[in-house]
Amino acid sequence: MHKPGEAQGFALIGKRIQRLDALDKVLGLPLYTSDIVPKDALRVKVVRSTVPHALIKRIDAEPAIQMPGVLAVLTAQDIPGINEAYALLPDRPLLASRKVRCHGEAIAVVAAGDLETAEEAVDRISVEYERLPVVTSPVEAMKPDSVLVHDNGNVAKYLRVRKGDVKEGFRQADVIVENTYRLSFRIRCLWNRKLEWHGLRRMDQSPASDRCRHPSTCRPELRKFLASAPIRCE
């Protein structure tokens, strides 16, 4: 019998092994996919809403467009295809067009030759809002008389999950604790680590690259936004 903590007969298990890349990582030397910038790539920054709920009355992008080094300022009106980017329901635009429904919602994008110019251009774009009532609680948002953040209702999806005999479970429980708990948003695991480049090529034009972990999912979304020919993953 081996003593607790011992790992005899193994080359690596239970041994103190020096990581070959440890020193480089401590010094910040390794290149990650975020460090790999294609040649002549443009820098893009996003204009985001500064209010939680409002109608968009006017977007003045002319001061940004006139800046040297700015190649384009795009809004929802410039999307040639369908302005939708969603996971559960088709109720989220890629760029807000009629109104914004949360603080930080994307309204426009700026493409420039360098990051500093793109950031300055974003600051020069002004958006005129007509503020709307705000709802800040999910419980309040689900009430029939709540402010409608989404035109078709505030409940994105309803899932009914039932398993076992709840009443019997309560009957057998030694202690029952009843309370209301509020938690911040959490991702249950580390995902989308962007470990490698994927290429998405339009059959009729030049390729686009991304570091997403699911290019096959991005492909139909890009085709929808661009109203383009079929897109092939590479």
Please tell me the distance from the alpha carbon of residue 95 to that of residue 105, in angstroms, as a whole number: 8
Per residue in 40-79, pLDDT (tens digit) is 888 999 999 999 999 999 999 999 999 999 999 999 999 9
Q: How far is CA 61 from CA 54, 116, 121, in A?
A: 19, 17, 9
CB atoms within 10 A of CB 153: 14
> ∠ at Cα 18 (12, 21), nearest 5°?
120
The pLDDT value recorded for residue 160 is 84
d(CA 47, CA 105): 8
More confident residue, 36 or 124: 124
Q: Is the pLDDT of residue 198 over 70?
A: no
Q: In the predicted model, is pLDDT for residue 84 greater than 90?
A: no
User: Domain spans of the chain?
Assistant: 39-134, 194-234
**Higher local confidence (pLDDT), 56 or 204:** 56
Average pLDDT estimate for 209-233: 68
- For 85-92, what is the mean pLDDT? 69
Asked if the model's pLDDT at residue 203 lies above 60, the reply is no
CATH number, span 39-134: 3.90.1170.50
In tens, the pLDDT along 24-51 reads 889 988 887 777 777 888 899 999 999 9
